[in-house]
C-alpha cells in the first residue's frame, strides 16, 4: 500500500508538471490565457488534494479529498480538451495529457468505489 501511495503522489506531481510545461508552448492570446489559468489551477489541485487525503485523520476526510481529486482530474481533462480545440497544431502534446487526466479520474473513482 505504501508504494502505491507514493507512486500516485509522484504521478500526480508529474501530471501537474507536464501541464505546466505544456502551457509554455501555447501562443498567448485571450482564449489561451484564460484556459491556461484554469488548467494550471485544476491540474495542480489533483496532487495537492491527494497529499491532503494521505494526511487525513479520518476515513470520511480521506474519501472527501479523493472525491475532490477525481473532480479536479475531470476538470483538467475539460480544460485540456478546450485547449486542444483551440490549438490543434500541438495536438500531439495535448492528447497524452487528456488521457492521463482521464486515467487519474478513473483511479480516484476506483479508490472511492472499492473502499466504501
Model confidence at 1: pLDDT above 80: no
pLDDT tens digits for 30-74? 999 999 999 999 999 999 999 999 999 999 999 999 999 999 999
For 4-46, give the secondary structure using H, E and C. Answer: HHHHHHHHHHHHHHHHHHHHCCCCCCHHHHHHHHHHHHHHHHH
DSSP state for residue 57 in the 8-state scheme: S
The pTM score is 0.92
Q: For 2-115, give the CATH class.
A: mainly alpha
DSSP state for residue 55 in the 8-state scheme: T
The residue length of the chain stands at: 116
Residue 65 near residue 53, CB atoms below 8 Å? yes
Give the SS3 label for residue 99. Answer: helix
Amino acid at each position: 500500500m505504501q508504494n502505491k501511495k507514493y507512486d500516485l503522489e509522484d504521478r500526480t506531481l508529474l501530471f501537474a508538471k507536464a501541464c505546466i510545461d505544456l502551457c509554455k508552448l501555447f501562443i498567448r492570446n485571450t482564449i489561451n490565457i484564460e484556459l491556461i489559468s484554469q488548467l494550471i489551477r485544476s491540474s495542480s489541485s489533483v496532487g495537492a488534494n491527494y497529499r491532503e487525503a494521505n494526511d487525513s485523520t479520518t476515513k470520511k476526510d480521506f474519501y472527501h479529498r479523493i472525491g475532490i481529486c477525481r473532480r479536479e482530474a475531470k476538470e483538467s481533462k475539460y480544460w485540456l480538451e478546450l485547449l486542444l480545440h483551440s490549438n490543434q497544431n500541438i495536438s500531439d502534446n495535448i492528447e497524452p495529457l487528456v488521457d492521463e487526466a482521464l486515467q487519474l479520474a478513473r483511479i480516484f473513482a476506483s479508490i472511492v468505489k472499492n473502499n466504501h
